[in-house]
Amino acid sequence: MANSLQVRQLGCIDYATSLAAMRHYTDNRGDNDADNLWLLEHPAVFTQGQAGSDDYLLAPGDIPVIQSDRGGHVTYHGPGQITAYLLLDLRRLGLGVRDLVTAVEHSIIATCADYQVTARARRDAPGVYTANGAKIASLGLRVRRGCSYHGLNFNIDMDMQPWQRINPCGLGVAMTQLKEHVEPVPTIDEVSQKLTEHLAALLGYQQYTYAPDNTLGHLESD
């Protein structure tokens, strides 16, 4: 399974459910179990990473705040944003954490380029930024037992108001989305397909397949 990636398109599911499923898969996977890429959206939620500070929660209001075990500070998840979780055996792939971060950033940059949007990474602040310095995608990862989980958030066509309620990642930067740079606005599914192609190539997979069952209930049998 070293050169195979299984892609699951999970739709919109709540954050706590996906977090529990990621932990379960990571803690119970065997040496020959498939690497997974989960593509989904979350209902509106703020999540605090391990480095999170309450100072960055400006006015969360009625949007719930959930503590997460990923790296980084506070971020926002909501409909219209691609959330991609990378459940990968890094030892099997021969990748370090920095290699993984670079591959993920470059996959988002390449996807932006598919829509003629210039984007770049910053060495001092993981994520992807447009030419004017606004942040279009965020990263937050965790590695346990040599395997990664959590992943990236790529803003496509979402309500941006909730970003005003936090200091995203503690950076004090403006947030943006693909909708503000592209006309007509591509669908989530279209962008997800391009992102998947770039991720698979940059992570070194010879092939990827879409799971026939796109639910979290059958992961124990993978």
169 noted as active-site residue: yes
Tell me which of 12, 112, 147, 169 is the catalytic residue.
169
Q: What are the residue ranges spanned by the domains of the chain?
A: 4-212
pLDDT value at position 218? 54
As assigned by CATH, the class of the 4-212 domain is alpha beta
Whole-model pTM? Answer: 0.94
pLDDT value at position 2? 52
Question: What is the chain's pLDDT, residue by residue, as a tens digit (222 residues)?
Answer: 456 899 999 999 999 999 999 999 999 999 999 999 999 999 999 999 887 778 889 999 999 999 999 988 899 999 999 999 999 999 999 999 999 999 999 999 999 999 999 999 998 889 999 999 999 999 999 999 999 999 999 999 999 999 999 998 767 789 999 999 999 999 999 999 999 999 999 999 989 999 887 777 655 434
Measure Cα distances from 61 to 49, 185, 186 in Å. Answer: 19, 29, 31
SS3 for the chain is CCCEEEEEEEEECCHHHHHHHHHHHHHHCCCCCCEEEEEEECCCEEEECCCCCHHHECCCCCCCEEECCCCCCEEEECCCEEEEEEEEEHHHHCCCHHHHHHHHHHHHHHHHHHCCCCEEECCCCCCEEECCCCEEEEEEEEEECCEEEEEEEEECCCCCHHHHHECHHHCCCCECCHHHCCCCCCCHHHHHHHHHHHHHHHHCCCEEEECCCCCCCCHHHC
